[in-house]
Amino acid sequence: MSSKTFFCIDAHTCGNPVRVVAGGGPILEGKNMSEKRQHFLREYDWIRKGLMFEPRGHDMMSGSILYPPHDPENDVAVLFIETSGCLPMCGHGTIGTITIAIEHGLIRPKTPGIVRMEAPAGLVLISYVQESNKVKSVKLVNVPSYLAAEGIEAECPDLGTLKMDVAYGGNFYAIVDVQENFPGLEHYKAEQLIGWARVLRQRINEKYTFVHPNDPTINGLSHIEWTGAVIDPTSSARNAVFYGDKAIDRSPCGTGTSARMAQWAAQGKLKKGDRFIHESIIGSKFIGTVEDYAKVGDHDAIIPGVEGWAKVYGLNTITIDPDDDPYAYGFQVI
């Protein structure tokens, strides 16, 4: 394969990176983004690895590729790529992608201030606030989110048996609440949480199966959501979301926030119209809301809203040349 060039715009959403591929993305087959995601995984996952992994990326890198919408009523279709894979949905990625796309004229919404975005997980409705040429905030109304399992158990190195709930917010999350063997994320270093989460995720997936009722291509538990005490007493909750093989989300994680709200709603701790202020490991915040109720298969679900901000900081022209570079497709050091 000859050298391939990608034109990228970099930003961060509340501290976590987003790299939008503005040019050079592959032509994909499929009648929706779920089918195109499968095509990408079959033939083009080298692009994800080359752009997300070292030396062109890093352990926390995530990004997206823009496509024309399949429904003419919508504004854009998005494929999410990151070190952990090609995700069905990414909340912080959506906030960063929309910020980049509006500020750099990559999309022109049919209705100013509103974006209808097709993701592999489904249609996501987005609103944004723009002042002059800057996007100040982005709010996404995410896909229906639900509590998938309660009180599952798995053995965690050093900590022992942990009880967890599993919730879906665009990806499946094991939520580790404060309990006898886990006093809270604030008591541990990030490197400890990462090492434990990698083993914990593997053990959960060996013991349990999670499949979306409406889309069997969305399956498997991909994220561990550690919880703990808030930094700001006005916040509702705090998390540290593990993804990939070595990453802790620097943002509060949009799909993780959606999953956590679905868990709380199922427990009667949140209701329609409530605000849920979610902190990240570094203290950045998303504002979550329960927009409405829904059903996913036999599961009661919520329609979550998640609001945050992003800042654009760079333009990149990146080449992947396997004929010249032995690390063209990237690498990870674990």
Distances, alpha carbon 183 to alpha carbons 177, 180, 198, 249, 285, in Å: 9, 7, 19, 20, 22
pLDDT at 2: 82
- Beta carbons within 10 angstroms of residue 107's beta carbon: 19
pLDDT at 1: 60
Per-residue model confidence as pLDDT tens digits over 75-118 = 999 999 999 999 999 999 999 999 999 999 999 999 999 999 99
Local confidence band at 334 (pLDDT 50, 70, 90 cut-offs) = confident
Query: Is the distance from CB of 262 to CB of 301 less than 8 angstroms?
Result: yes
Q: Say which of 8, 14, 86, 90 is annotated catalytic.
A: 90
Per-residue model confidence as pLDDT tens digits over 176-205 = 999 999 999 999 999 999 999 999 999 999
pLDDT at 226: 98
**DSSP structural state of residue 44:** -
Local confidence band at 244 (pLDDT 50, 70, 90 cut-offs) = very high
For strand 237-243 and strand 285-296, is the pairing parallel, antiparallel, or unpaired? unpaired
Q: CA–CA separation, 326 vs 78, rounded Å?
A: 30
Strand segments (E) across the chain: 4-13, 16-23, 62-67, 76-82, 114-119, 122-131, 134-141, 145-156, 160-168, 172-176, 211-212, 215-219, 221-228, 237-243, 247-248, 275-279, 285-296, 299-308, 310-320
3-state secondary structure of 210: coil
Per-residue model confidence as pLDDT tens digits over 143-171 = 999 999 999 999 999 999 999 999 999 99
pLDDT at 282: 98
Per-residue model confidence as pLDDT tens digits over 131-144 = 999 999 999 999 99
pLDDT at 55: 98
Per-residue model confidence as pLDDT tens digits over 276-310 = 999 999 999 999 999 999 999 999 999 999 999 99
Catalytic residue list contains 253: yes
Taking the C-alpha atoms of 223, 229, 230 and 235 in order, what is their torsion angle to the nearest 10 degrees? 90
CA–centroid distance for 331 within its chain? 21
Per-residue model confidence as pLDDT tens digits over 7-55 = 999 999 999 999 999 999 999 999 999 999 999 999 999 999 999 999 9
